[in-house]
Amino acid sequence: MKKYIVIALAVLGIAACQTQFDALLSSNDVDAKYEAAMNYFNNRKYQKAGQLFESLAILTSGTARDDTVQYYWGLSNYRFKDYITAEANFARFVENYPMSPFARDAEFYRLDCLYRATYRWELDQTPTRACMAAINEYVREHPGDNHLPACEAMLSDLQERLDRKDFEAGRQYYIMEDYKASRVKLRNVLKANSDNIYREDILYYTAMSSYNYARLSVAAKQKERYLTFIDDYLNFAGEYPESKYKAELDGLYRKVQGILGRGGGTNVENN
């Protein structure tokens, strides 16, 4: 019997709390609702805090508390990890309260929401490019801002995704054994962005593509295509003499030198 009484009291307690929150939510008592919203926020009950701040936004519109309520509404959604709603909150805040002391942080949190809404490198990178453009604009407009290290970290991660996607698009042709298309695609990746962080891998697969393309060609065209491999090899070896790929490419270079009748490729290591 005692067990059932305890359960009943617990249920009644939960119901009372829900009733109290619902009463606050429908109340027009700005002070009570504001204090409760801040208490919920400070106690990390962000969903309830967000609901109360949203309800308060109508009541405090045009008052001294307006920007505070709007900011904490967005921040509650952000802390609750509802980044889509939070991004909309912060975007509206920046537009409506550019002079608020919360404006700079709101602008940064909006960027962070955009960043969190981007996709893995395998997926569509349109949100990535839009986010990078917004971050770069923020960096230009706020030099020396305390959020810049976080912005730079986000930009680095986003750029890595774009670089990876471009590199993998070229490598996919290599995996499919379309070596001509692989070389063309990989070279175009570096033409578009010579600082691609996968540059070493790109140059390696470029050389491997030209080697395999020559190897599989008809005899009449092999010499010209092996010479292309030699150019690609020398480009790679000049940039990455200590690369993990170097030994493999050195072996292919010596082999091609032999095929072309150049004495087996003496002094290969110095090229």
Domain coordinates of the chain in residue numbers? Answer: 9-96
| Alpha-carbon dihedral sign for residues 211, 215, 221, 223 | positive
Q: Assign domain 9-96 to a CATH class.
A: mainly alpha
For residue 12, what pLDDT is reported? 47
Question: Which of the four pLDDT bands, split at 50, 70 and 90, describes residue 27?
Answer: confident
CA dist., res. 116 & res. 81, Å (int): 10
Which position has the token pair 């009644």? 12
Nearest in space to 63 (alpha carbons), one of 31, 36, 86? 31
Give the CA dihedral 120, 125, 145, 53, nearest 10 degrees.
-80
> Is the model's pLDDT at 217 over the cut of 70?
yes
Nearest in space to 138 (alpha carbons), one of 89, 105, 92? 105
For residue 18, what pLDDT is reported? 62
For 238, the token pair is 């000049």
pTM, rounded to two decimals: 0.81
Tens digits of per-residue pLDDT, 231-246? 999 999 999 999 999 9
Tens digits of per-residue pLDDT, 171-192? 999 999 999 999 999 999 999 9
> Is the model's pLDDT at 205 over the cut of 60?
yes
Question: Which of the four pLDDT bands, split at 50, 70 and 90, describes residue 20?
Answer: confident
> Is the model's pLDDT at 1 over the cut of 60?
no
